[in-house]
Amino acid sequence: MVKILGQHDEKTLQQLLAVAERAEHVALMADGHMGYVMPIGGVAAYRDRVSPIGVGVDIACGNAAIRTDLPVEAIRPHLEELADGIASTISFGMGRPTNTERDAPTDHPLFDSAAWDAIPAEVREDLRGRARSQLGTVGGGNHYVDVFSDESDAVWVGVHFGSRGFGFIAAHGFVALAQGAEWRSLTPQRAANMNAEVLLDLDTPLGDAYWTTMSLAGEYAYAGREWVARKVVELLGGSELELVHNHHNFAWKERHHGEELVVVRKGATPAHEGQYGFVGGSMGDKSVILRGRPTDPAMLESTVHGAGRVMGRMQAKGKWRKGRLVRHGRVTHEMMREATRGVVLRGGDLDEAPQVYRRLDDVLAAQGDSIEVVHELTPLIVCMAPSRTRDP
């Protein structure tokens, strides 16, 4: 069974239909676009199998949002100062940034879990050490820490990121093992191998080891997002009243169409009846807290995870070589400033400008009555990894 919501380009649709040849059921959310093997915004249900590339290289990427006890007027006069505090306290960026805060959760119980034994012994301790140092760091790309106000002028904190280097390395490692190769350092050849689908039977040692590691990465991502979100609430001087938290790159065992299936969501938010989710827009658009409603079973109880890209990264910011612009992109710093007017922005590159995304209202409308918007969140502060392009 194939279910498609919204409008998509032909390549994205072809990618979904290729996945449908191997899955029992597939669905594509309205924010969908091309990904590795399976489109972002795609959902696929399998019998007793899991797709590591479907789950993605950022295992357990997701969103968390906290409603605070603060009214927006308590922080509005201090937005610039608060943005500086967030940007200097929380670690953003690629590579191996370390959480250097005094209360960094380096002693989290997950580091003593027996699940680490599912990772090959020759790389296990290095990966555990990397994970320990990165817990509570945000990373780069479209990952962020935002401060919002809702329709009642209550302040919210929202974050978006996943399992950092731990999930990235684990995803590539298990795909390599599944393709008969060694768990090895990332190479261009190995990156190219992510274009070939791999399905692991859960009743095999390799499939079981992947599922165990994926689940551990999910626990890791939850711990990291909650630490960051709560740290920012502390910086704002508020207290937590409500937490909404969900993965959108993950696999779950669920019951659909009368049987238990493994449901892989790649850039799609679980939306079971009554379940709350936090879905972010672009840095210049609103975000929402939504709730799942009874819906068409073909949608596999899923919804969008964001607004959805309509422009590639190089298309947006151009081509840069050794710090020099060699080909202009379609988005300028002036365009980005205009689209984020009224938002205090720290970091954020042209490839994350509002112009590269759909409007969140449009993709939510395409999802129909499968979800209910509970809160609309207006961005006040957006913090992302520092820009790599220069403003002339």
Q: 370-380 pLDDT, tens per residue? A: 999 999 999 99
pLDDT of residue 314: 84
C-alpha atoms less than 13 angstroms from C-alpha of 347 in its C-beta half-sphere: 25
Q: Is the pTM above the cut of 0.75?
A: yes
Would you say residue 84 has pLDDT above 90? Answer: yes
pLDDT of residue 129: 95
Interatomic CA distance for residues 322 and 3, integer angstroms = 44
> Across all residues in the chain, what is the average pLDDT?
92
pLDDT of residue 214: 98
Distance, C-alpha 31 to centroid of its chain? 13
Lookup result for tokens 């649709």:
13
pLDDT of residue 191: 55
Which DSSP string do the residues of 47-87 spell out, in sequence order? SSEE-HHHH-SSTT-EEEEEEEEEEHHHHGGGHHHHHHHHH
What is the DSSP-derived secondary structure letter of residue 92? B
Interatomic CA distance for residues 265 and 20, integer angstroms = 14
Interatomic CA distance for residues 335 and 339, integer angstroms = 6
Would you say residue 255 has pLDDT above 80? Answer: yes
Cβ contacts of 304 within 8 Å, gap of 6 or more: 29, 30, 31, 41, 268, 269, 279, 363, 364, 367
* Residue 239 CB neighbour total at 10 angstroms: 12
Model confidence band, residue 36 (pLDDT cutoffs 50, 70, 90): confident
Would you say residue 392 has pLDDT above 90? Answer: no
- Residues 142-158: tens digit of each pLDDT: 999 999 999 999 999 99
pLDDT of residue 196: 73
- Residues 199-223: tens digit of each pLDDT: 999 999 999 999 999 999 999 999 9
Which CATH number is 2-383 given? 3.90.1860.10
Going from N- to C-terminal start, the domains of the chain cover 2-383
Would you say residue 188 has pLDDT above 60? Answer: no
